Amino acid sequence: MAAKEVTRGRATAGTIAGFVLRVARESTSIRTQVGMAEAIGVDLATWQGWETGRRPLANVKAGALLNIRRRLLALGADPHVLHLLDPAMDADRVITSTIHPEINDLHPLASWVHTRDTAHMIAWALNGTAPRALVRSATTGRRGPVAKAPLLPTSDRDVFFAHLRETAESALRAGDGGLLLHRQTLYLCSYDRGSEATSWMVHALHGRRDLISARGWTPHWATARSTAAALVRLGDRQPLLDFIERGLADDDSAEIANLNYWAYWLGSIREPQPDDGFMRRGPTNWEPVRLLRGLAAGLQQAPAYMDLYVHSLWALLTTNRWLPLADPVLADKLAAHTARLLDHDGISPRARRELSSVHYVLRENRT
């Protein structure tokens, strides 16, 4: 049994990154593994091992991996796909470390703040939903019974979620020292939609509702935000409305934290962060235009989180009124979308007020 577990661990250690590598290969003019192995200068077994995950890309020396990326780029690989190799390797590490925990090893979710790209890669392996950057690339040009996603086997998926819930509970018992690990594991637990898991998740999240009702910034602010967002995924929108009203609106430190959170999550802050402390810092070197684009896209793609996207857009545009001039095409599209939203019922009073302000700023700075 032990030997079987070790073998399975090795098989899952590089699956997601291997799948992204396969998509990158298929985005070039060299579609076959044989041709790509020759172009890169490795034997066929090595390339096949990378794509299947049997030989995890994370184990390749940094210089060699850099050369592989650059060679793929020169061969015409989609740069958006190549960009996802790092979050894919991160996702492989999170999943493997959760399924096969090592005694005394720090869980990867306790040592750095993961990004949206990493979360989407993990979700891809858990439920088969391809990240938007890969939706077209991951499904074109294939023949025969080829896997369309790096899905975990059901047994591994069950073990992953069981261990993840155990990790979330142990992190909670660790107090402030386990804040980051608890927040991130709890968020990922919400991807499990089984009835038993949902009951556990609802109980765990509602046990943290007191954080949502706290006024403004607290050391648990990021946990409150993630808790409210996870409850939306489970169909309960009210905690997010409560969080915006009490834990975010009209508090300068919380507003700064929210924009910093979004900037990191959406890739506007490019430097990796070891903990949530970066959220409290004042204006940093994140890119406002990139953040505007990410929030505008999210407003259309994730309607369940509309209130948070609207409030964040309002905060960004009221403090950076010049932004519509930086991307006039985006500003026009966003103005049209906000106008459509304002025509619909069911919008909370705060969201309606803030949408009106967003719409005004977009129009005012385009004339």
Mean pLDDT, the chain, integer: 89
Alpha-carbon distance 84 to 120, whole Å? 10
pLDDT for the residue 1 = 35
Which of 1-5, 194-198, 329-333 has the highest average model confidence (pLDDT)? 329-333
Q: What share of the chain is helix, strand, coil (3-state, %, to 5)?
A: 70, 0, 30
Q: How far is CA 291 from CA 34, 46, 222, 358, 361, in A?
A: 41, 39, 19, 15, 16
What's the CA dihedral at 167, 110, 284, 249 to 10 degrees?
20
State the Cα–Cα distance between residues 295 and 327, nearest whole angstrom. Answer: 14
Pairwise pLDDT comparison (134 vs 361), residue with the higher score: 361
Query: pLDDT value at position 202?
Result: 84
The 10 Å CB-count burial string (b at 16+, else e) for 153-180 is eeebbebbbebbbebbeebbeeeeebbb
pLDDT number for residue 195: 84
> pLDDT tens, 13-64?
899 999 999 999 999 999 899 999 999 999 999 999 999 999 999 999 999 9
* pLDDT digit string, tens, across residues 225-261: 998 898 888 888 999 999 999 999 999 999 999 999 9
| Per-residue pLDDT at 8 exceeds 70 | no
pLDDT at 9: 44
- Kindly state the DSSP code that residue 247 receives in the 8-state scheme: I
Q: How confident is the model at residue 3 (pLDDT cuts 50, 70, 90)?
A: very low
Q: What average pLDDT does the segment 178-186 reach?
A: 93
Distance CA 181, CA 208 (A): 15
Q: How confident is the model at residue 2 (pLDDT cuts 50, 70, 90)?
A: very low
Phi, psi of 178 (to 5 degrees): -110, 15
Is it the case that residue 10 has pLDDT exceeding 50? no
- The DSSP call for residue 305 is G
Q: Which of 138-152, 166-180, 306-320, 337-351 has the lowest mean pLDDT?
A: 138-152
- Using CA atoms, how far apart are residues 87 and 95, in angstroms rounded to an integer? 12
Identify the pLDDT of residue 366: 61
Other Cβ atoms within 10 Å of 243 Cβ, number: 28
